[in-house]
Amino acid sequence: MKTRRSFLQKASASALAMSLPAFPMFSLTKESETYFDFQEVKPLRVAIMGLGSYGKRVADAMKDCKRAKLVGLVSGTPSKVESWKKEFGIEDKNCYNYQNFDQIKNNPDIDAVYVITPNGLHKEHAIRTAKAGKHVICEKPMATTAADAAEMVSVCEQAGVKLLIGYRMHFEANTLEVVRKRKAGEFGEIKFFQGLSGFIIGDPTQWRLDPVLSGGGAMMDIGIYSINGARYMIGEEPLWVTAQEVKTDPVKFKEGIDETITFQMGFPNGVVASCLSTYSMNYLDKFFLNGTKGFAEMQPSTGYGPIEGRTHQGPLTNPHVTHQTTQMDEMAAMILDGKQAEIPVDGREGLKDMKIIEAIFEAVKTGQRVDLV
């Protein structure tokens, strides 16, 4: 419906345009472009929970965001809070520890909390965030069990807040180009997918090698990329999994921490995805998709970038943008504007990966094929 206000806004804009000098648009300076901004775009105001190395990576990337802004911190380490406050200009009133965090519900200056704590703490921290009335962005894997993931989804839905999972690759330009080509039929009928994900893990005392905090080893950390990648590259959900584990260092990779797992996933269209997840080999970051009319090969396929690859039509040439910058701007648009991601990043997407991971662990344990319901 046309309103008097909208009419006046358009009339004012037309009058302003007519009154400006007749210079071509390309002659305007960057500063003068703001002259045409009639309405300031609201940013998503984010607090980061967990000020570790990846939290720092996200915070640095957000400096270049257009729609997301870092405004709050949550940490159990006072020294980190102090140094981050100075570096990122965070106000004291937006800083919390794990004891007083629930008071964030009374802070109108924070819209969402990005949970970047160890996997085993995701459920607790996400649920506390949701109950405080704040939107939840949770790093992957979203939990350590499918049951916990399902509870997170339920609580967020009941609280009326968004639950988004940190699938940064779902916004990466070359990845999206391959998915669009597959949807357009440019690869023909998909026949095969291979995903290789791994690196040699370092410090044996880190939380990633603690079964309680990590919920598993390489599969939870790096293997999830091949699981998730197979799903969006093939465009279907797997029906079954088989898996085999190799453990060469039972001291470093104790009970509950997988070192290397090869696994297979069967899809409705007959495609079998052959994948590897490991903590004991480097140079493994590769996706390969094969179809009757063409192929896509990406290496590196999920690293921090640049993502490189080619198809039967030639190289993928989209410019590299810091993944976390794009992710946070896109998630801001999802939360604030209701935008839909081309590849889902919601809690139910994360729950699907958790169910597959549990099935892979079961297949390793039993030596049998495990069907996915």
* CATH number of the domain enclosing 80: 3.40.50.720
355 phi and psi, to 5 degrees?
-65, -40
Same domain, 198 and 263: yes
Query: What is the pLDDT, as a whole number, of residue 373?
Result: 81
Is pLDDT above 50 for 251?
yes
Determine, yes or no, domain membership for 355: yes
Task: Give the residue ranges of DSSP H helices in the chain.
Answer: 4-19, 30-33, 53-61, 78-88, 122-131, 146-159, 173-183, 211-214, 218, 224-234, 323-337, 347-366
Work out the pLDDT band at 41, boundaries 50, 70, 90. Answer: confident
Give CA separation, 43 vs 135, 174, 284, 333, 342, in Å: 14, 26, 37, 9, 21
Does 225 qualify as catalytic in the annotation? Answer: yes
Residue with tokens 């993928």: 316
- How confident is the prediction for the chain on average, in pLDDT? 92
pLDDT band with cut points at 50, 70 and 90 for residue 36: very low
What CATH number does residue 197 fall under? Answer: 3.30.360.10
pLDDT tens digits, residue range 273-327? 999 999 999 999 999 999 999 999 999 999 999 999 999 999 999 999 999 999 9
Q: Residue 296 forms beta bridges with which residues? A: 289, 311
For the chain, what percent of residues have pLDDT higher than 90? 89
Q: List phi, psi (to 5°) of 281.
A: -140, 135
Q: From the candidates 225, 232, 279, 286, which is the catalytic residue?
A: 225
Cα distance between residue 297 and residue 313, in whole Å: 11
Residue 35 is predicted with a pLDDT of 38
The residue-averaged pLDDT of 56-68 equals 98
- At 30 the pLDDT is 39
Q: Which of 166, 191, 225 is the last residue of a domain?
A: 166
Please, where are the H alpha helices in 184-322?
A: 211-214, 218, 224-234
Look at residue 131 and tell me if it is in a domain: yes
Host domain of residue 187: 169-319+346-371
Instruction: Tell me which of 166, 190, 213 is where a domain ends.
Output: 166
Same-domain check for residues 112 and 212: no
The residue type of 308 is: E
Number of structural domains the chain divides into? 2
pLDDT level of residue 18 (50, 70, 90 thresholds): very low
Residues 287 and 196 in one domain: yes
Do 310 and 355 belong together in one domain? yes
Residue type, position 163, single letter: L
For the chain, what is the total number of helices (H) and then of strands (E)? 12, 15
Distance of CA 270 to the CA centre of its chain: 28
Take residue 296 and report the two structure tokens written for it: 């896509």
140 is catalytic: yes
Residue in 140, 162, 286, 352 annotated catalytic: 140
212 and 274 housed in the same domain = yes
pTM for the full model? 0.89
Q: What is the CB-side half-sphere exposure of residue 266 using CA atoms within 13 A?
A: 11
pLDDT tens per residue across span 140-190: 999 999 999 999 999 999 999 999 999 999 999 999 999 999 999 999 999
367 Cα distance to chain centroid = 31
Question: Crossing angle for the helix pair 173-183 and 224-234, nearest 10 degrees?
Answer: 40
Please say if the pLDDT value at position 129 is more than 60.
yes
Q: 34 pLDDT exceeds 90?
A: no
Judge if 161 and 257 occupy the same domain. no
